[in-house]
Amino acid sequence: MHDIRTIRDNPAAFDAALSRRGIAPVSADLLAIDAARRAAILAAETAQADANKAAKDVGAAKARGDDAEFDRLRALVAEKKQQIATLTEQAKAEDARLHDLLIALPNLPDPSIPDGKDENDNVEIRRHGTPRDLDFAPMEHYDIPAIRPGMDFETAAKLSGSRFVLLSGAVARLHRALAQFMLDTHVEDHGLLETITPVMVREEMMYGTGQLPKFGEDSYQTTNGWWLIPTAEVTLTNIVNGLTLDETTLPRRYVAHTQCFRSEAGSAGRDTSGMLRQHQFEKVEMVSITAPENSAAEHDAMTRRAEVILEKLGLPYRTVVLCAGDMGAGATKTHDIEVWLPGQNTYREISSVSVCGDYQARRMNARFKPAEGGKPQFVHTLNGSGLAVGRTLIAVVENGQQADGSVTLPAVLHPYLRGRTMITATGDLA
């Protein structure tokens, strides 16, 4: 959410920043509503002062027996009270209009990110690892003989419909091992606080991180008003909702492994094969809460934490900075990490790491007390996948596939699989 005072100070800069996202100028409309709101507040304050003065004079008129003046002043007080009530309602209505417009606007892009409209305009900043030079035609994950017995889309469709999967046997064990490995790495090596959160939240929590009001169709709501989280960003970030923290407690770094739920509205025809885009999936999510001056460095550190997971798994990847037109609404800067998938012969997103500045903090009213004193300030919030478990499974099996249909597994996972090192072509751990 944006600060109207900043827009007042430089409306042209605000419009120019939003134009990088393809949004038409809005500052004139915002400032007109703001002016009407402020005028109503000022008029109400003036009427209140007049009413207060008249109320004092009523007693004096009565004391001196001036009935005509007494009646006039009483009428004036009543009139002013009515004006105050009307003006107060006008101010509330304009304030609500302003709030509704501001809360629907996306964050402003960081000046350092590239201009552009879509993923074709993103800029690669580094690459790690070299894809294997295979002497056979690589398969996509769902076609690999080792994986087929443990990845059942037909039964899942019978149970729940399209874009669900039933994992079993070696594939289910691998999925669990990956999540455990990610959590252990983030907790033991990166110092994040492991957290178990609900997967259903109140509506105001979805507003706090920006999923509402504009993107409600992308998520699921229960009949009694709870929302299923699309990512643990919602729960982890809202831990500080409404709080004023001591700066000495920052940064706060959380990690959680949760189920995630997305309706994928508007994504018909995109990545519908296999496990790439599901309505229900699991993710290990990282969230950091920082002081403003530290958020840029924290963004780079969070990106590195996600990259380390891929490096430990031996998976080739590249990291890109998203252009203004391809970035999520709440972010001011985003790094996407894309893993190599030989079955598709391309890199595919496996993590997005975003810094949101004070955009979410304003929506949540999350602040901190500066250590050196002074007024409380809004925190900065950051979030990122560390990683999407299902997509990591896809990358592991596609990069580990062998010509005989088996899959070799990364060495870091062997302890989580009781020493097993591969999935045989018949789908067994061995």
> Which residues does the annotation mark as catalytic?
262, 277, 349, 352, 391
Instruction: Say whether the peptide bond before residue 213 is cis (omega within 30 degrees of 0).
Output: yes
Q: 303 with 319: CB under 8 angstroms?
A: yes
| Spatial separation of the C-alpha atoms in residues 378 and 210, rounded to whole Å | 16
| Spatial separation of the C-alpha atoms in residues 119 and 101, rounded to whole Å | 27
By CB atoms closer than 10 A (0-12, 13-18, 19+), residue 340 is: buried
| Spatial separation of the C-alpha atoms in residues 339 and 305, rounded to whole Å | 15
DSSP 3-state assignment of 293? helix
Report the half-sphere exposure of 219 (CA within 13 A, side-chain side): 25
Angle at 354 between CA 296 and CA 110, to 5 degrees: 60
Q: 382 with 122: CB under 8 angstroms?
A: no
Tokens of 303: 């990106």
DSSP 3-state assignment of 160? helix
3-state secondary structure 187-209: HHHCCCEECCCCCEECHHHHHHH
| Spatial separation of the C-alpha atoms in residues 21 and 106, rounded to whole Å | 9
Name 368's bridge partners: 245, 377
CA distances 168 to 147, 174, 310, Å, are 10, 10, 24
Helix axes 67-104, 27-63, angle to 10 degrees: 160
74 Cα distance to chain centroid: 56
CA distances 91 to 41, 86, 105, 362, 398, Å, are 6, 9, 21, 21, 60
| Spatial separation of the C-alpha atoms in residues 279 and 294, rounded to whole Å | 35
| Spatial separation of the C-alpha atoms in residues 401 and 120, rounded to whole Å | 29
| Spatial separation of the C-alpha atoms in residues 219 and 199, rounded to whole Å | 12
